[in-house]
Structure 1
Amino acid sequence: MRFLAVTFGHTMRNMLLTWKSQCMTLFTVSLSVLIFSFFYLVYANALQVSASLDDDLRLIVYLDEAPSPPMQAQYRSKILKFDQVEKIEFISSQDAYQRFEQALGTNADVLTGVPEDFLPPSIEVYPIRSLDSLSRIKRFSDYLQTLPGVLKVQYGKQWIDRFHSFIQLIRVVIILSGALLVMTTTFMVAHTIRLTLVSRQQELELLRLVGATNNYIRTPFLFEGALQGFIGAASGMGALLLLYNWIKLQFAGPATTTLPFTFLSWPVIGLLIGLATLLCILGSFSAIRRFTRL
């Protein structure tokens, strides 16, 4: 316990002696965590949006004639052969007519005299709602087009392509911001620790002469790196929460109530803070090892 108290005292003194560089390091770590966690938050909510898609994520396969029960079984087998799906529904011409009539509502009288079989039968295929299914849906559509008796395959091509492109862009940004987080945290913490080591080099040499172990000399600097990472990451997450609440307040309306936009879960927050803390410890260890050759 005494060792921890002495170590913590040395750590606080080191941070006070180099408070300017400490503030710059904390700001850099906070900003890096904020940037990375912001784009990760966007990505996580995009995953939730894709999981909540319902009728918008479906393929409608129009047929030239209504399939018999054995033919339905063949269609089902061939569809499942390409990919797993949530649901397959066979819609007859009469069912399509009734849906169309319900969609028209009070204007259903325009169908007066129109035969109930004027709409083609179809198969509605509901892919598994995930980002991976979005990337495969174009190939899925091309495959369904090759099935016998298929007239046309229809799906929300434009918005699905745009949504998938957006997700791909976010993934690239997350990778780049993650690389930025790793480089800035380790570099800035290592730079700050090196400044502290320079200012206390004579004192460290005296500690060696009086028999101080490597762990005794190294531990305060590792604590310093851990504190920089923890405080900086916690500040970055706090700034993200403020930004999230501000955006949610600015865009409050039907869109925010319909789409499930949520903040990061506590395990994810803890993981991000822990990761930033670990990176700062590694930066601190790298500076100590390189400068003091312990």
Structure 2
Amino acid sequence: MSFWFTVIRQVGRNLRQTWMSQIMTLLTVSLSVLIFTLFYLIYMNMLNVSDQLSDDLRLIVYLEEEPVPEMKEQLRNKILAFDDVESIKFVSSEDAFTQFSEQLGNDRDVLEDMPRDFLPASIEVTPLKTLRSLNQIQLFSGYLAKLPGTMKVQYGKDWIERFFHFTRLLSIVVLLSGSLLILTTVFMVAYTIRLTIMGRQDELELLKLVGATNNYIRTPFLLEGFLQGALGSTVGLASLYLLFQWITIRFTGQGFLNLIDFAFFPPATVIAIIGISILLCAVGSHTSMRRYLRI
């Protein structure tokens, strides 16, 4: 008990002596965590959006004419020859007219003078979850476009490609911000511990001469790095949560954002981020001790 009491007292003394650098380190760690978690949160929600959109992803094959039952079976077999799919639905011209009329709602009167077969027949193909990467969708679309009697294939190509490219770019930003978090955290904590060690070098050597153990001398510095990691990551995550809540409340209402269920990090992810921050700060503290603490 007396050991930890003395260690905590030494930590408090170190914090008072280098309070300016301690605050700068805390702010740097907090800002680094905030930047990384912000982009990671956006990336995580974009993946959720991708999953939500992929549930409705369908490739629509427009046909030149209504297929007879034998032709339907041939087309079905050719589609399954590429890969298994979740569903294949043949939509006749009349079914397409009915669906279009329902979509128009109160404006369906504009279709009164139109023939019920003016819309082309089509095939709605829903791919499996495992066949929904951008490259696979493009290959599948090209394959469907070569089916007999096909006019064109539609699946929201431009929008989906932009979304996939944006998600890929966001993943690179997450990696870069994660690297920034590692570098700044380790460097700033190591620099702060170095200042503390240099300011107390004579005192530390004297403690060693009077019989103080290495653990007694090193533990306060490790605990200091632990506190920087815990407090910095907590402040960064708290700031992100407040920003998340502000955006959620500010933009709640009618519009695109209201159609998507955005979510904050689950508790396990929050604990993991705090744990990684503590580990990085401890590594920075240990690195500085090994280099500048001559014991």
TM-score, length-scaled by structure 1: 0.90
TM-fit CA distance, 1:161: 2.1
1:101 and 1:108 in contact (8 A); partners too: yes
Give the stretch that moved more between structures: 272-281 or 150-159.
150-159
Counterparts in 2 of 1:212 and 1:259: CA distance versus 1, 3 Å: same
1:135 and 1:164 in contact (8 A); partners too: no
- The one-letter code sitting in structure 2 at the alignment partner of 1:227 is L
Counterparts in 2 of 1:80 and 1:28: CA distance versus 1, 3 Å: farther
Cross-structure match for 1:259 = 260
TM-fit CA distance, 1:68: 5.1
CA distance in 2, matches of 1:80, 1:6: 73
CA distance in 1, matches of 2:117, 2:283: 71
Cross-structure match for 1:45 = 45
2:54 and 2:132 in contact (8 A); partners too: no
Q: Secondary structure at the match of 1:53?
A: helix
Cross-structure match for 1:163 = 163
1:225 correspondence with 2:225: yes
* Paired residue total: 294
Unaligned stretches of 5+ residues in structure 2: none
TM-fit CA distance, 1:270: 1.1
Q: Can you list the C-alpha shifts for 1:80-104, whole angstroms capped at 9, x where unaligned?
A: 5545544332212221121122223
CA distance in 1, matches of 2:280, 2:19: 20
Unaligned stretches of 5+ residues in structure 1: none
TM-fit CA distance, 1:33: 0.4
- Sequence identity of aligned pairs in percent? 54
Q: Secondary structure at the match of 1:52?
A: helix
TM-fit CA distance, 1:196: 0.6
Cross-structure match for 1:268 = 269
1:228 and 1:277 in contact (8 A); partners too: yes
Cross-structure match for 1:289 = 290
Counterparts in 2 of 1:147 and 1:184: CA distance versus 1, 3 Å: same
Q: Secondary structure at the match of 1:249?
A: helix
1:59 and 1:153 in contact (8 A); partners too: yes
Q: Can you list the C-alpha shifts for 1:127-182, whole angstroms capped at 9, x where unaligned?
A: 45699634543333222212333221012122222222221221111111111000
Counterparts in 2 of 1:110 and 1:212: CA distance versus 1, 3 Å: same
Q: CA RMSD in A?
A: 2.5
TM-fit CA distance, 1:61: 0.8
Counterparts in 2 of 1:291 and 1:124: CA distance versus 1, 3 Å: same
- The one-letter code sitting in structure 2 at the alignment partner of 1:262 is A
